[in-house]
Structure 1
């Protein structure tokens, strides 16, 4: 199961970063500096990119605090033991993890055109499970046509997880399943479909052409929201909607392995279908969000 594998990789790399820090503290500065830099770059990488939410977002903070405290302890207990070291592979890995950490914030798409929307969910804390400014943070969406700034959003429960267990086949276990989706803007509904059944996780066999969706068009851009719950869409094509109006509920239809809201926005361009037009980077109520960031109501 991919969920368990990604979580195991996250925890394993986190432990490895701490182990490398301990090794660096047992070497003289000349030999230990590269190991220490490798540890720091790996630790920051897994802190930013790790799938901690599969366990709990609080696990991420526990790891970060533990890393800092253990780093201070290892420095205090530092021993000067001479050991041979192979520097080349460490330099390569430091450059790789360091570059990924920088690209987490900058992305690879330059300065994107932006759009400001009202956040379409209202119940509590939400989490960007996929999103960012292109590669490497938005790898999955980057491979889709024009979806380089698309976002996948889940809701967090009281334990900081998106479901009651690490992985569940029960749709009701996912905190976001059935949440009301509100229109993020004023506009006209140009596509509304809601008859497709919800997938039972992790089944995605029905594919992207069987997604319950609402597509809203404004004078300057088009908003697509997908994976809605079967028979939950509350609007029809041609309807005028206003910001904050209920339009559907979060589900797991189409090309989706677990309940979440998929949202992407494109500039309106004559002669191009909306999904082939220029993608826009989304801001919710004036705030930008990246991969693995929490969206809190107080920030909206």
Structure 2
């Protein structure tokens, strides 16, 4: 699993760097060629910026790639500023630009699809943010599979997985540390996201060493709060931290446990999802008026 994470991170950094390097060194005969290459690089950077797990790769890394892209554009602009928009040999020009046009179209369609998956609204219900005491990031969230691996499960279609990041912008030191305490989210306070009644509370399951997972107890230590016609589940809590009691009424913001790594979890994070009590279907959530999707940050 570490190898897979490492490969994806390298790809998501080296591929943008390759496009930035090409833009930096670009020497097109026409301004149109330069403009298409610039657009292709910009769309790729936006796509990777939305898709990549920057809590693992580092949010400063994303900012650095964006800055390098701007610098590359400014470096290559003077070479193309006074060149013609088109060359006399239109056939040769068209053939030379076809690969860039095709790439730009494909990347643009992918970017539009991802942007739709992040922003599509499905009657979202407003809840209070379920964590306190840190800078938190949505790792899995959105309405499509490339953003949220829960999206094909009817009850968890809008589920969220939330880690935290430290001052350097990483969720942990290293790709997949084996000690749960090495993750910024571990031990953070989990609070009730709404006023309601506790209808389930489980504790006593151990916090596992990543990437070990307990598939027999998917939610691990968890709490379910019934509120506003929904059942809101908060899962993978720390062993011995659950303070919620079945049948008790809680207000929004009431501490109910702490983040751990129990259950079917490959690393410490808070899992939250809500289902409609009548239909059993997943409910889209919003915090602070925002529909959370991958890489959205919340500071509490």
* CA-CA distance at 1:216 after TM superposition: 0.7
- Give CA-to-partner distance per residue, 1:179-237, whole Å, 9 cap, x none: 11011111111121122222211123535535211111114212111111122211132
Structure 1 gaps of 5+ residues are: none
* Deviation at residue 100 of structure 1 after TM alignment: 2.9
**Alignment correspondent of 1:227:** 236
1:11 to 13, 23, 47: 13
CA distance in 2, matches of 1:86, 1:7: 31
Shift of residue 48, structure 1, vs aligned partner: 1.8
Q: Which residue of 2 aligns with 1:287?
A: 290
Q: 1:138 to 1:147 in 2, by over 3 A?
A: farther
Q: Give the alignment's TM-score, normalised by structure 1.
A: 0.86
Q: Is the 8 A contact 1:178 1:251 kept in 2?
A: yes
Q: Which has the larger radius of gyration?
A: 2
- State the secondary structure of the residue aligned to 2:238: coil
Structure 1 position 3, deviation (Å): 2.3
1:168 offset after TM fit, Å? 0.9
Structure 2 unaligned residues grouped into runs of 5+ = none
The answer to whether the Cα contact below 8 Å between 2:207 and 2:260 also exists between their aligned partners in 1 is: yes
- Structure 1 residues 99 and 201: CA distance shift in structure 2, 3 A: same
* 8 A Cα contact 2:31 2:80, kept in partner: no
* Corresponding residue for residue 141 of structure 2: 131
* Residue aligning to 1:161: 170
Taking the aligned partners of 2:161 and 2:229, their CA distance within structure 1 comes to 23
Deviates more, 1:142-151 or 1:5-14: 142-151
1:263 aligned to 2:266?
no
Given that residues 118 and 294 in structure 2 are in contact (C-alpha distance below 8 angstroms), is that contact kept between their aligned partners in structure 1? no
Name the residue aligned to 1:44: 46
Query: Alignment RMSD, CA only?
Result: 2.6
Change (3 A) 1:41 1:208: farther
Structure 1 counterpart of 2:130? 120
CA contact (8 A) 1:57 1:160 kept: yes
Mapped partners of 1:25, 1:280: distance in 2? 51
Which residue matches 2:157?
148
Q: Distance in 2 between matches of 1:238 and 1:123?
A: 27
Residues 73-123 of structure 1, C-alpha deviations (whole Å, 9 max, x = no match): 11123497x987565554443233222322333228953111111112111
- Aligned residues, how many? 290
What is the match of residue 200 of structure 1?
A: 209
